[in-house]
Amino acid sequence: MIEYGKTSKQSRGPAPLRERGLALLREMLMIRHFEEKAAELYSVGKIRGFLHLYIGEEAVAVGSMQVLGPDDNVVATYREHGQALARGVPAGAIMAEMFGKANGCSRGRGGSMHIFDVSRRFYGGHAIVGGGLPVAVGLALADVLRGRSGITVCFFGDGAVAEGVFHESLNLAALWRLPVLFLCENNLYAMGTGLARHQAQTDIVRKADAAGVPGLAVDGMDVLAVETAVSRVVDAVRGGQGPRLLEARTYRFRAHSMYDPDLYRNKDEIERWKTRDPIALFTAVLREQGILADADLASLEASVHADVAAAVAEAEAGPWEPVEDLLKDVHTPVAR
């Protein structure tokens, strides 16, 4: 039988195995199809600016988000559509944001890299590599000072471990025993630069250890393994033991961004990783256990396609911000 981690969602009442398995699969399929549609819309100029796809990494966002409750904070990077969808940010609000429409979750001002939804404690979307790390530490400190019980999960890439702010953020979080889970999505590349090309120490768990933050690594292509590992480290963080780091080993199947010709990776390497596609792996698990029949998969696919189509329709129908509002909220008047 598939083993599920002891998660907070689970503690709200164990859903039947079949229902939970299909829900996890649906969330991953939603991210995959949402992004495939975004790529298509980018190529016809409906979405402009930068667009970084999460395709291949879906198990990390979906597995980890199962463990979080509404009082927890999430901070992500510019590759954040997956985390935003898994956190429950409405697909239409994300799509409209990418269209630059006023009904976008950041009112069309931020685009793909700046998905934000305070009502769901989803604090970005950060275009600066490592930019979310100190924000996460600040959110956790605010929770402690206000006596709130939530924890903060900060997603960041392997490229961010090269930034000074990574070490500073881990140091402060450890020193003040702040409730932060640093979740490194190690997809082996920072744009076109492989981890071993810019780091002498490529073991990210050891780097965290040096800052006084215990860490763990997990197979980021296995949604159940991610859920279980996150559940384990989150138990420690919630229990007041201070911050933890989880390194999810994953891979992006697409180029860094829509502008990247992807010439630095060996095609065989990409194909090898595709044999561990998180959606295909989990589909196989569910089939083996008799949880998923062909008809279930077909109906999941159909309902996800319908949701993506509805999100696009919402974005298309949304208004543009009036030109006279363009300077609104750009400058704060200084009181003299």
Ligand X SMILES: Cc1ncc(C[n+]2csc(CCOP(=O)(O)OP(=O)(O)O)c2C)c(N)n1
Q: Which is nearer to Mg ion, 7 or 187 (CB)?
A: 187
Please list every residue from 2 through 61 that binds ligand X, using CB under 6 A: none
Nearest distance in Å: CB 260, Mg ion: 12
Structure tokens at 63: 């597995």
Q: Smallest distance, Å, CB 111 to ligand X? A: 14
Smallest gap from residue 193 Cβ to ligand X (A): 8
Q: Would you state the structure tokens that stand for residue 230, as one six-digit string?
A: 């996150």
Q: How many residues bind ligand X (CB under 6 A)?
A: 14
CB of 189 to Mg ion, least distance (A): 5
Contact between 196 and 161 (Cβ < 8 Å): no
CA distance 67 to 134: 22
CA distance linking residue 157 with residue 248, whole number of Å: 10
Given the complex with ligand X, which of 133 and 140 has the nearer CB atom? 133
Residue 135 corresponds to which tokens in the numbers above?
């924000």
Nearer to ligand X, 158 or 314 (CB): 158
Q: How far apart are the first and last CA of the chain?
A: 67
Question: Which of 257/283 has CB closer to Mg ion?
Answer: 257
**Candidates 5-13, 56-64, 156-164, 216-224; binding stretch for Mg ion (CB under 5 A):** 156-164
Give the residue, chosen from 76, 190, 229, 230, that forms a contact with ligand X under the rule CB under 6 A. 190
Q: With beta carbons less than 8 A apart as the criterion, state whether 228 and 216 touch.
A: no
Q: Which does 244 bind (CB under 5 to 8 A by kind): Mg ion, ligand X, none?
A: none
How many residues form the binding site for Mg ion (CB under 5 A)?
3
Q: How far apart are CA 90 and CA 75, in angstroms?
A: 17
**In the bound complex, what is the minimum distance in angstroms from residue 158's beta carbon to Mg ion?**
4
Q: Which of 27, 97, 117, 158 binds Mg ion (CB under 5 A)?
A: 158
Q: Does position 256 bind ligand X by CB under 6 A?
A: yes
Contact between 295 and 22 under an 8 Å Cβ cutoff? The reply is no
Backbone angles phi, psi at 311, to 5 degrees: -65, -40
Residue 58 in contact with residue 278, Cβ under 8 Å? yes
Task: Figure out which of the listed residues 82, 157, 179, 215 binds Mg ion, where binding follows CB under 5 A.
Answer: 157
Report which secondary-structure segment, H or E, holds 246: strand 244-249
Q: Which two tokens mark 220?
A: 């980021």
Of residues 116-175, those binding ligand X (CB under 6 A): 127-129, 157-160
277 vs 307, beta carbon nearer ligand X: 277
| Cβ neighbours around 225 below 10 Å, total | 17
Residue 197 is a binding residue for ligand X (CB under 6 A) = no
Please state, in angstroms and rounded to a whole number, the distance separating the CA atoms of residues 287 and 18.
Answer: 11
The interface region with ligand X, picked from 65-73, 183-191, 202-210, 306-314 by CB under 6 A, is: 183-191
Using CB under 5 A, list all residues that contact Mg ion. Answer: 157-158, 187
